[in-house]
């Protein structure tokens, strides 16, 4: 299968997307891969497989490569004398954060009629915005960690006991996130979070909470990964998460009983279907007193959470073969014709 991996983007997670894409090169061994880089100015470049090294991007050398344009049906290598299409069966969206997770890449693929693995537009907006994730989860009966929403202009008054965790509403990879142990630390944490976003969520920080990750997708049937209990420090800061995005070897299944595993899987399925059809996502759950609560949805998880799947590459193939299809709309100008004929113009 010809898979085009799109990565980079105008995102705080631009660099970890590069790391994720390099990891995919190692993981997707049997596929015919091409790499499409969205640079910081959102120019598109076709990158040779051999050039997929971090320095190629940090040095700016990629700019010597082939620039791409989007046209109906695919990407094209532009040029003065016409253009040549890049041959692709499916695009794998690997842009973390803005552009990739906020619905832009999904929109581009839909508009230009390109098959793609990624959350669709609605799923992107619902998962990129942590406040909307809460509203959505509540509406489908999935519990979440309690929260308080603050906008920049709101009074900085907290409903929870300390410690609390402060998160910008729209970013991933712990950017702008702080744990606040004392009231005196709140202002600084909010200032940091508001550096990145107009809105923040405040949640109680649950000391020693058990966390479990479930990744998955749906092809003709469910494609669930093992449940992982991530190795936890207080929480992963950006640099540790960054290293985390290069994981490519399988991890061990969490040591949990069948009942809890089933609860986690059922919560995942409720979230996934139908909103996330066409994507491979990872949901992070907290478990408190046997109750499963959604912490967050990772719509484009680091290195696609490949290390949680038994045969990631085969799964990608099955997902690609079962993508949701856009509803066909027939446009036949029947209203315009009837108006013209009423006016005697037809």
Distance from first CA to last CA of the chain, Å, rounded? Answer: 50
State which residue, 30 or 345, has the beta carbon closest to its own copies.
345
Residues whose CB falls within 8 Å of the CB of residue 135, separated by 6 or more in sequence, listed in order: none
**Which tokens sit at 332?**
């036949």
User: Distance (Å, rounded) from C-alpha 88 to C-alpha 100?
Assistant: 19
Beta carbon of residue 334, minimum distance to its own copies (angstroms, whole number): 8
Beta carbon of residue 194, minimum distance to its own copies (angstroms, whole number): 12
How far from 236 is each of 95, 231, 233, CA to CA, in Å?
Answer: 20, 9, 6
DSSP 8-class letter at 115:
-
List residues bridging with 178 in a β-sheet: 166
**Which tokens sit at 109?**
């693929």
Beta carbon of residue 286, minimum distance to its own copies (angstroms, whole number): 22
Beta carbon of residue 60, minimum distance to its own copies (angstroms, whole number): 9
Binding site for its own copies (CB under 8 A): 10-12, 14-16, 18, 40-43, 54-55, 57-58, 69-72, 80-82, 98-99, 102-104, 106-108, 110-113, 121-122, 124-126, 129, 131-132, 135-136, 139, 151, 198, 238-239, 242, 274, 329, 331, 333-337, 339-340, 345
Beta carbon of residue 339, minimum distance to its own copies (angstroms, whole number): 7
What one-character-per-residue DSSP string does 206-274 give? -TT-EEEEEEEEESSSEEEEEEE----SSS--HHHHHHHTT--S--PPP---HHHHHHHHHHHHHHHTT
State which residue, 218 or 309, has the beta carbon closest to its own copies.
218
State which residue, 240 or 253, has the beta carbon closest to its own copies.
240
State which residue, 288 or 336, has the beta carbon closest to its own copies.
336
State which residue, 72 or 184, has the beta carbon closest to its own copies.
72
State which residue, 105 or 315, has the beta carbon closest to its own copies.
105
Beta carbon of residue 242, minimum distance to its own copies (angstroms, whole number): 6
State which residue, 90 or 125, has the beta carbon closest to its own copies.
125
**Which tokens sit at 225?**
């990964």
Beta carbon of residue 186, minimum distance to its own copies (angstroms, whole number): 23
What one-character-per-residue DSSP string does 6-73 give? EEE-SSTTHHHHHHHHHHHHHH--SSEEEEEEE-TT--EEEE-GGG-SHHHHHTSGGGGSEEEEEETT
């Amino acid at each position: 299968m010809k898979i085009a991996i799109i990565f980079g983007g105008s995102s705080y997670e631009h660099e970890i997307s590069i790391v994720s894409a390099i990891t995919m090169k190692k993981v997707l061994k049997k596929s015919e891969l091409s790499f499409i880089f969205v640079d910081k100015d959102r120019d598109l470049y076709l990158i040779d497989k051999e050039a997929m090294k971090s320095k190629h991007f940090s040095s700016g050398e990629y700019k010597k490569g082939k620039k791409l344009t989007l046209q109906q049906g695919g990407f094209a290598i532009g040029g003065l004398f016409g253009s040549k299409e890049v041959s692709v069966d499916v695009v794998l969206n690997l842009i973390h954060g803005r552009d990739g997770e906020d619905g832009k890449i999904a929109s581009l693929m839909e508009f230009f009629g390109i098959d793609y693995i990624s959350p669709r537009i609605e799923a992107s907006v619902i998962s990129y915005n942590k406040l909307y994730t809460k509203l959505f989860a509540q509406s489908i009966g999935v519990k979440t960690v309690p929260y308080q929403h603050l906008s920049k202009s709101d009074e900085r008054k907290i409903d929870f006991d300390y410690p609390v965790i402060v998160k910008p509403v729209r970013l991933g990879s712990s950017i702008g996130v702080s744990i606040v142990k004392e009231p005196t630390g709140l202002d600084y944490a909010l200032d940091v979070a508001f550096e990145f976003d107009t809105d923040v969520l405040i949640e109680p920080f649950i000391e020693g909470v058990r966390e479990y990750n479930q990744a998955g997708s749906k092809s003709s049937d469910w494609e669930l990964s093992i449940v992982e209990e991530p190795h936890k420090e207080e929480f992963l800061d950006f640099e540790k998460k960054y290293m985390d995005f290069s994981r490519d070897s399988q991890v061990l299944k969490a040591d949990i009983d069948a009942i809890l595993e089933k609860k986690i899987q059922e919560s995942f399925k409720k979230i996934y279907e139908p909103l996330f059809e066409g994507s491979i996502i990872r949901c992070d759950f907290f478990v408190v007193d046997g109750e499963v609560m959604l912490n967050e949805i990772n719509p484009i998880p680091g290195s696609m959470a490949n290390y949680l799947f038994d045969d990631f590459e085969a799964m990608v193939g099955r997902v690609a073969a079962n993508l949701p299809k856009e509803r066909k709309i027939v446009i036949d100008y029947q209203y315009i014709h009837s108006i013209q004929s009423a006016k005697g113009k037809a």
